[in-house]
Every structure is written in C-alpha cells, then in structure tokens.
C-alpha cells in the first residue's frame, strides 16, 4: 500500500493467473499506484497461492454460492452481497464460485499492517489477520465501497488515499488484535484537540490549499499519529480531514470566482485541484452548478 512495499499489481497479476481472468478495472490512485481491482468472475474452481498482499474482497453483486477452503477445511460456504472475505497473503486458499459474481479487491501489504499496529501500540499476532469469509462488517464494507467509487471516478488524490489507508489499516489492526473495531481509544485524552490546536490546523490548511497538504503534516501539528489524528479530528470537527479540506478548497474557489477574472483552470490550480475537469466536477457536486455557470449566475 506504500511505495516502500512490493507493488500491489503483482498480487492482481497472481490472482488473475490462478483465476484465468483479467480484472474488469484496476483501481489506481491519481499517481498511478495500484490499490485494488474490480473482478467479474464466471463459475470457477480455483486455488490461490503465494500472494504478496492480503486481498480484501467485497462482494458487489451476483451469485452468492461461494465456498472457501483453507488447509483442507471449509472456511465458509455462502457469501452475501456487501460482505467481505479475505484472500490472505502467503497462504493457500481454494475458492468455488457457483455462478457469475462481481467483487472488488483492496490490496494490503502485511508489513503495512504490522507497522500500523506498532503505531497504535497494539501487539500484532503472529498469524496477522488470520482468516475470514463473508464477514458482516459495515465499516470495512464502507471503506472498500468508498475506494471503488473514488478510484473509478479518478478522485483518489494523495490526501484522500492517505486518509483512506490510515482508516483501513487502523480498522484492520483492531480487527486482527481482537479489539472492538468501534471501541474507543485506550487513552481517550489523546483524542482531544484543544481550541489552540484546531486554530493551528485550520490556519495550516488555509495556507496550503494550493498544494502540499498531507495527513502526516496535520497529525504532526496535533502531536498525534495519523491514525489517532483521524479519529480526534472527526470527534472535534464532525467530518474527516479530507472532507474539511475539500470544503475549504471549494469555498476559496468561490471567492476567487466571485472577486476575480481568473480562468477556471487557474482557479483550479490555486485551490489545489488536479485540473479544470476535476475542479468542475467537485464544484458541481457541492453547489449544483459548474464554476462558469455559478460565476455567471452570481453576476446576473
């Protein structure tokens, strides 16, 4: 999941080789890093071996007559749309799919999980995530659905990817260590952001809307790890850092459109959007009009 780890594309290739198929769509960040894939599987019986990454598989649609076998035992025999199964790294598993189905994968490197556990001060078990099949986990499913949606619409910018990765790793660490994934932090005081800290955070965001914003930099201002900072910010502000930054960029864009004659592409650059089309799509989702139409309506 990070440049320091083996490319997730090798995991997608390995799965494709065993399944005798190619992904319907590879999920990439705007920088081109592979983070997952969408697959359409016909009825099949396949054995998967030697993955570099864990593959989290969200059942999107289609046949639920799916069986998973590991070490000669049946792990599960019936999937559900919206459930999540694990294709574990470094272990063999067999899959029997009774009819056409569509799934989305997110690829997670085992080292990234171990590093996240260390940051969260949790003892990572020797067998890591263990194994599971058709897990009903609403938060995990939402994280995977969000990844698919953002990647398919080419909106997985570096800040969004960084936030998604921290949320996913934190949830998986709590899952792998047997903790309640929705439980509070062991030290709740670490999740409190003072008014002075929030003012510094808000000022930093406004000063860097054009670029250079990272989750790690914001967490450093709060003297928290990125994992703890995400939860602390959501508790204090009521929205994620990524959503807050997007809102501030759109408000700044409104100001520039109203008070200047800058072209839409220039406004996009000055507010940190990747280009005019990316900016226009975000602006229209928020305000119901394209930037040009909003400017014209305001002037009328």
User: Structural domain boundaries of the chain?
Assistant: 8-137, 188-238, 244-299
**CA-based torsion, 86, 87, 88, 93: positive or negative:** positive
Residue 3: pLDDT above 90? Answer: no
- Please tell me the class of the 244-299 domain: mainly alpha
Do the Cβ atoms of 43 and 36 come closer than 8 Å? no
Backbone angles phi, psi at 195, to 5 degrees: -60, -40
Band of pLDDT at residue 257, cut at 50, 70 and 90:
very high
| HSE of 22, CA atoms in CB hemisphere, 13 A | 1
Calculate the average pLDDT of the chain. Answer: 90
Residue 95: pLDDT above 50? Answer: yes
Residue 212: pLDDT above 50? Answer: yes
pLDDT at 177: 87
Residue 183: pLDDT above 50? Answer: no
pLDDT at 189: 52
Residue 173: pLDDT above 90? Answer: yes
* CATH topology for the 8-137 domain: Jelly Rolls (2.60.120)
């Amino acid at each position: 999941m990070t440049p320091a780890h083996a490319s997730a594309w090798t995991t997608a290739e390995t799965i494709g080789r065993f399944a005798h198929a190619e992904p319907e769509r590879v999920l990439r960040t705007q920088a081109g890093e592979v983070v997952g894939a969408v697959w359409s599987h016909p009825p099949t019986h396949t054995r998967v071996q030697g993955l570099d990454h864990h593959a989290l598989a969200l059942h999107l649609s289609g046949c639920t007559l799916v069986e998973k076998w590991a070490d000669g035992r049946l792990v599960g025999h019936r999937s559900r749309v919206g459930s999540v199964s694990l294709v574990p790294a470094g272990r063999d598993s067999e899959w029997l799919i009774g009819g056409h189905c569509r799934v989305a994968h997110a690829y997670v490197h085992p080292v990234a999980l171990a590093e996240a556990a260390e940051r969260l001060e949790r003892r990572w078990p020797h067998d890591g995530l263990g194994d599971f099949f058709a897990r009903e986990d609403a938060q995990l499913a939402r994280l995977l659905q969000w990844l698919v949606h953002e990647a398919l619409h080419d909106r997985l910018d570096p800040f969004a990817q960084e936030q998604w990765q921290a949320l996913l790793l934190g949830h998986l660490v709590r899952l792998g260590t047997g903790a309640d994934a929705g439980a509070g932090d062991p030290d709740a005081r670490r999740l409190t952001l003072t008014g002075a800290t929030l003012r510094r955070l808000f000022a930093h965001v406004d000063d860097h809307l054009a670029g250079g914003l990272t989750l790690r930099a914001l967490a450093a201002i709060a003297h928290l790890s990125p994992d703890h900072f995400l939860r602390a910010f959501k508790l204090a502000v009521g929205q994620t850092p990524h959503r807050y930054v997007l809102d501030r960029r759109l408000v700044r864009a409104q100001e520039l459109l109203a008070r200047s004659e800058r072209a839409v592409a220039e406004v996009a650059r000055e507010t940190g959007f990747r280009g005019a089309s990316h900016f226009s799509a975000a602006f229209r989702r928020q305000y119901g009009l394209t930037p040009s139409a909003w400017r014209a309506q305001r002037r009328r």
